[in-house]
Structure 1
Amino acid sequence: MPVAPLTRRLVPLSLVFIVVGLGVSFVGPYLALFLTDAVHADPLHTTAFLIVAPISGVAVSWLIGRVSDRRPIRRQLLIAAALAGAAGAGLTAVLRNYWAVLAVTMTLTAVAGSLFPQSFAYARQVLQQRDPGRAAFAISALRTLFSAAWVGGPPLAALILAAHGFGWTYGLAGALYLLGALLIVTLLPRVPAPVTAAAEVHAHGGREARPIALFLIIASFTVISTASTLNVQAMPLFVERDLGGTISQAGLVLGICAALEIPMMLALGALSTRIPVRRLIYAGVLCAVAYHAVAATATHVWMLAAAQLLQAMVISTVGALGISYVQDLLPAHPGRATTMVTNTFPMGQILAAPLFGLAQHFDFRLAYACNLLLCVVGVLLLVASGRVRPAAAANRPEPALSASY
């Protein structure tokens, strides 16, 4: 299939990713600040909100992901999610009652959260029809656009917040969601009804992952995501209090990682056309172990800065290639597969919260020691998943997922 028709499909979707990424990055980093300064929530209510919000997002995205694989309604779901995001951000711009904001977050904002995985699922369906061999590269390229939006979004939102307050910040986020809905309506065509599971599995050589293997893989991704989240949360305080650095140096360290992610995602996506994605993910998980070993023993800020190459590898593999990998394991269910991977991010946020509190009470170096242990567990879970045979090959003696994918 020529590249041009595929490009005509993915360029509009790329615009959607940029717009949605900007909308999320405008408000995501400042949610706790919004709850404290604008809603005047106490620490207990703020903590409860920060736990309930990702849980509701995970539940809603999971339900939508299952529905999306059964009927040809993925484009309609993208439109509905974008409109829900616009409504949710618009209401949050004017509401200042804690319970009202929480209700909006658990409903409209939770529905808007499905826009991210459903966009990847839409891309997967397009690639299955046009160029399945380049699926991992295309998914990684789209993931870089979301990362790029997060490079510029938070600083711009900070300027708007300082000049005009939360009303403008959330209002502009709502406008970006509306623009995303308009782009979907005008530029993205409908995708056909999902192929039956039997036909899709047959098209992939008769390989189908068993539920236990999927559980182990998603559990591995979840603990790696938990470590990455705790890394970001603890970095400023670890640099300032344990390494004798400054907050600006901590920001520089995190910025180095973000800058390395984008070219690395593209390079690994291209490499995935020649090297099995699972091997690249193994490399990423091992890099997670190496990174947190360095961080847990670091004595100078420059050591953390140099180690960001390892952390960028983690995000570029588990965070980007992990999507196409699980989609390959569930070829007939791209919506459910993508949702399983993207839900590991909010689950990581939930699991990281008590570990951050523990490190805050004792020592921030403890956060990286906990991360090191989590990443070792992640490696063991991934290795265990490779020992589970594909469903169609359960009665044959050849190796399982580790050799097949």
Structure 2
Amino acid sequence: MSKRLLPLALIFVAVGISTSFVGPYLALFLSDAVHAGPIRTTAFLIAAPVAGVLVSWLIGRVSDRRPIRRKLLITAALAGLAGTALTAVVRDYWLLLAITVTLTALAGTLFPQSFAYARQVLQSGDPKKAALGISTLRTLFSVAWVGGPPLAALVLAGHGFGWTYGLAAIMYAITVLIVLRWLPEVRKPTTDGAGDLPDAIAPVPPRSTLFLIVAGFTVVQTAGTLAVQAMPLYVSTDLGGSIRSAGLILGLCAALEIPLMLGFGVLTTRVPSRTLILIGVCCAIAYHAVAASAGSIWVLVAAQPLNAAAIAAISGLGISYMQDLMPGHPGRATTMITNTFTTGQILAAPAFGLAQAYGFRLAYAMNLVLCAVGLVLLISARHAAVASKREADALLPL
């Protein structure tokens, strides 16, 4: 098992670097390099995550039926390699859109499928430390995002978008080589408490429970996305600060997230992941309440530990939590939870429009409501699961 953890760690760093090189600058790329215009840029930014959600969902359902996860990793990395390499040279809007909704969308499955593969590897060792391992790998992805955007900005300023996308393509190529050389196929998805049950009948929570969990994570992720989008304008227009101040606040939060993710991962060996996630959502509620009422930049600075704790718990433990609930379906479970972030990006767009019209303080007030709703949904999911189990027990023969 340990021989596969280092290659997996390298994959998460490579994927983090590749996505952090292109993700933050996509709108700028469409505006400056493609000259797309506001309407076509908006359409592109909506089509890209929608395609990503659909493709990830389809691949997630297929991935748990057969031992093909290694092939899926290779396919996704090759799609990323082709997609970024083509984007480095193509400047036609419609051709780029076609590349994005096909190759780039397929490349997006590399992230959840890597976590699914990692889960199976970790589960074959010490199952009690699986959540810690997943949280650690998620931390490496975050570390790559701390250094990736500033480095990409330097490359972009010196050489243009061709180089940034070219370097992202190299990261995908490295991923392909790592999988081919060091990652064998995992023969059978983990079943945790399912014993030797076939995957088709491995225990899965009721659909009502899964719906409540996914809905809860989605609204909380929407709030997190909206908070990041609104921060620069909130600081500069409502609090009288500068864009640089907003960047420092976001950087402080990112720096705090890393040790907190590791800390929460360690706590999972003693405290249930669900409990830690609920604590994280409570931290999010507290943070957005403070942000919505902040009178100065320093109030936001002081509140960043709450923000970082919320992100660390929700993003760092959400994957392992869902995998625990669906032990025989790691690919499907991981895809469901990672798609909540992408869906949150889509839903945050109209909310951001409201904040533009009525003031960016409204963004954090909406976030407060969203996180409160998310907390209710996640708590209700527990009650739904308990009620479903009671119904099932009542139907058992005496």
TM over 0.5: yes
Given the alignment of the two structures, is residue 69 of structure 1 paired with residue 86 of structure 2, yes or no?
no
Q: CA deviation at 1:208?
A: 4.0
Aligned partner letter, 1:327: Q
Deviations 1:309-352 (A, max 9, x none): 11111111111101000001111100000000100111011000
Q: Which moved more, 1:384-393 or 1:46-55?
A: 384-393
Give the corresponding residue for 1:270.
266
Which of residues 5, 14, 28 is equivalent to 1:19?
14
Give the corresponding residue for 2:323.
327
Aligned partner letter, 1:60: V
Which of residues 313, 316, 321 is equivalent to 2:312?
316
Aligned partner letter, 2:158: A
Contact 1:201–1:331, Cα closer than 8 Å, also in 2? no
Given the alignment of the two structures, is residue 149 of structure 1 paired with residue 153 of structure 2, yes or no?
no
Which of residues 34, 40, 56 is equivalent to 1:39?
34
Aligned partner letter, 1:261: E
Runs (5+) with no aligned partner, structure 2: none
Which of residues 170, 184, 192 is equivalent to 1:189?
184
Number of residues paired by the alignment?
Answer: 390
Q: CA deviation at 1:8?
A: 2.0
Aligned partner letter, 1:132: P
Q: 1:219 to 1:159 in 2, by over 3 A?
A: same
Aligned partners of 1:392, 1:131: CA distance in 2, in Å? 28
Q: 1:192 to 1:121 in 2, by over 3 A?
A: same
Contact 1:201–1:332, Cα closer than 8 Å, also in 2? no
Q: CA deviation at 1:393?
A: 5.1
Residue aligned with 2:385, SS = coil
Give the corresponding residue for 2:347.
351
Give the corresponding residue for 1:400.
none
Aligned partners of 1:116, 1:131: CA distance in 2, in Å? 23
Residue aligned with 1:96, SS = coil
Contact 2:189–2:330, Cα closer than 8 Å, also in 1? no
Q: 1:275 to 1:198 in 2, by over 3 A?
A: closer
Aligned partners of 2:389, 2:204: CA distance in 1, in Å? 6
Give the corresponding residue for 2:283.
287
CA RMSD of the aligned region, Å? 1.7
Contact 2:213–2:377, Cα closer than 8 Å, also in 1? yes
Identity within the alignment, %: 63
- How do 1:1-400 residues align onto structure 2 when only pairs under 5 Å count? 6-194=1-189, 199-200=194-195, 208-389=204-385, 394-396=391-393
Residue aligned with 2:383, SS = coil
Q: CA deviation at 1:202?
A: 6.7
Aligned partners of 2:196, 2:288: CA distance in 1, in Å? 38
Aligned partners of 1:149, 1:246: CA distance in 2, in Å? 26
Aligned partners of 1:150, 1:208: CA distance in 2, in Å? 33
Q: CA deviation at 1:388?
A: 1.2
Q: 1:193 to 1:304 in 2, by over 3 A?
A: same
Deviations 1:113-142 (A, max 9, x none): 000000000011112211111011000000
Deviations 1:69-118 (A, max 9, x none): 00100011001100100000000011101000000000000000000000
Deviations 1:175-233 (A, max 9, x none): 11101111111111211133679945979xx9642111111011110001000000000
Question: What TM-score, normalized by structure 2, do the two folds share?
Answer: 0.95
Aligned partner letter, 1:61: S
Aligned partner letter, 1:128: Q
Runs (5+) with no aligned partner, structure 1: 1-5, 398-405
Deviations 1:286-312 (A, max 9, x none): 111111000000001111111111111
Aligned partners of 1:182, 1:365: CA distance in 2, in Å? 47
Deviations 1:344-397 (A, max 9, x none): 111011000011111111100011111111111101111111111355554449
Q: 1:195 to 1:308 in 2, by over 3 A?
A: closer
Contact 1:200–1:332, Cα closer than 8 Å, also in 2? no
